[in-house]
A and B are shown apart, each in its own frame.
Chain A
Amino acid sequence: MISRRLIALSLAALLLALIGGAAAQVFEAREFENPENARRYQVLISELRCLVCQNQNLADSNAPLAADLRQLTYDMIREGKNDAEIVDFMVARYGEFVLYRPPLKPTTAILWSGPFLLLAIGIWLLLRHLRRRASATAQASALSAEERARLARMLEAETSETDPGKRD
C-alpha cells in the first residue's frame, strides 16, 4: 500500500518537474575559443539524452541535472578533451542510455543494418515477382478484364497442367 502511494507521489513530483521541463527554456550564454568548439558543444548536448526528462536531449532540457551536465560538457571541451572522452565520461556514469546515437555493436547490428537489409530484400522480392509475373501474364495482355476472366476460366485446366509454376 505504502509503496503504491510512494510511487504515485514520486510520479506526481516527476510530472510536475516535467511540465516545467517541457515548456520553459533554460540555456546558458557560452563563450568558445573557436567556432569548431562551439559546434562540438552543440552537437554533444544535442546527441546526449537527459536522464530525468521524458525524451529530451541535454540541450532542450531545463532539468537541473541537464544544466549540470551541459556545464560539465562545456568545461571538458575547454579543458581540451575530445568528443570520445566526453561521451565515455557520460556513458561510464549513466550507461549507453544517454546516447541518442546508439553505438554499433552486436546488440545494435540489426538496428543499424535493418533498414538497408529490408530495402535490399524488398527490391529483390519485387523484381523476382515482376519477372515471374511478366512471363505468366504474357498471353492475356491484349484482352479486357471481362474477356480475360472468361478466358482465364476456359484456360484454367490447361494452364495448370502444362505449367503450374507460372501461376503466381
Chain B
Amino acid sequence: MPRFTVPLGIFLLLVVLLGVGLTLNPRLVPSPLVDKPLPAFELPTVLDPEQRLSHDELRGRVSLLNVWATWCVPCREEHPVLVGIARRGEAIIYGLNYKDDREEAVNWLETLGDPYVKSGFDPTGRAGIDLGVYGVPETFIIDANGTIVYKHIGPFDDKIWRETLLPLVKKAQENSS
C-alpha cells in the first residue's frame, strides 16, 4: 500500500536535510555587500588624526580591508598573519579600527607591527555598520573598481589565506589588469 509509505518518504527527506544541515554553519551570514561597491566612508587614521582614509583611496588596485580592534581576542591571533602578508607583499592591506581606544590601537600597532597602509579610526562603529560588520575581525577583498568581491568573517590563518583568500586576490588582480 503506497500511501502508508508517504511518512517514511517525508522522514527520509528530513534526515537528508538535517544531515546537510550538520555541515553548515548557521552563524555565518553572507554579506549582501558582496559584488557591490564599497560603501562610502571617511575617517581619520589611527596613527595620525590629521590624515584621512576614505573609500576612494581603496580604488585603483586590489586591496584588503581588515576590520580589527584591540579588545578582540581572535584579532591577536590573526595579526601575525596580516603582518606576514604585508611583509611578503602579497596584498595591500587597509585597516578599519572598530570601536576602539586610539591610544591602545596605536600601542597595538607599535608592539605587534603595522601591516596596514592606513587604518581608519571608527570609535563609534558607524562606518562599521555601513560595512555590515557584525563580528570582528572581518576582512573584505576589494577589486580595482572599488567593488567588494569577498568577505571573510572571523579570523583567518595562513592556511585559509593561501587556500581561499590569496587565490581570490590574484583573480581580482588578473581581472583588473
Do A and B have CB atoms closer than 8 angstroms in the complex?
A: yes
Q: Which residue numbers of A lie inside 8 Å of B, CB to CB?
A: 2-3, 5-7, 9-10, 12-14, 51-52, 64-65, 68-69, 72, 91-97
Number of chain B interface residues as a range: 20 to 34
Partner of B134, one of A10, A12, A52, A96: A52
Cα–Cα, bound, A2→B159 (Å): 9
- Known A6-B155, A10-B74, A68-B124; further 15 A-B contacts with Cβ < 8 A: A3-B159, A6-B154, A9-B73, A9-B74, A12-B73, A14-B135, A64-B99, A65-B125, A68-B126, A92-B32, A93-B33, A94-B29, A94-B32, A95-B30, A95-B132
Q: Which residues of A contact B134 (CB under 8 A)?
A: 51-52, 65, 94
Q: Which residues of B contact A52 (CB under 8 A)?
A: 134-135
Question: How many A-B residue pairs lie within 8 Å, measured between CB atoms?
Answer: 65
Cα–Cα, bound, A7→B159 (Å): 13
Partner of B155, one of A10, A68, A96: A10
B136-177: which have CB < 8 Å to A? Answer: 154-160
Asked if B74 and A93 sit within 8 Å, CB to CB, the answer is: no
B79-137: which have CB < 8 Å to A? Answer: 99, 124-126, 129-132, 134-135
Asked if A69 and B154 sit within 8 Å, CB to CB, the answer is: no
Cα–Cα, bound, A64→B77 (Å): 22
Q: How far is the CB of B71 from chain A (nearest CB, A)?
A: 10
Q: Select the residue from A5, A6, A52, A92 with max chain B CB neighbours within 10 A.
A: A6
Cα–Cα, bound, A91→B36 (Å): 14
Q: Which residues of A contact B32 (CB under 8 A)?
A: 91-96
Asked if B129 and A2 sit within 8 Å, CB to CB, the answer is: no
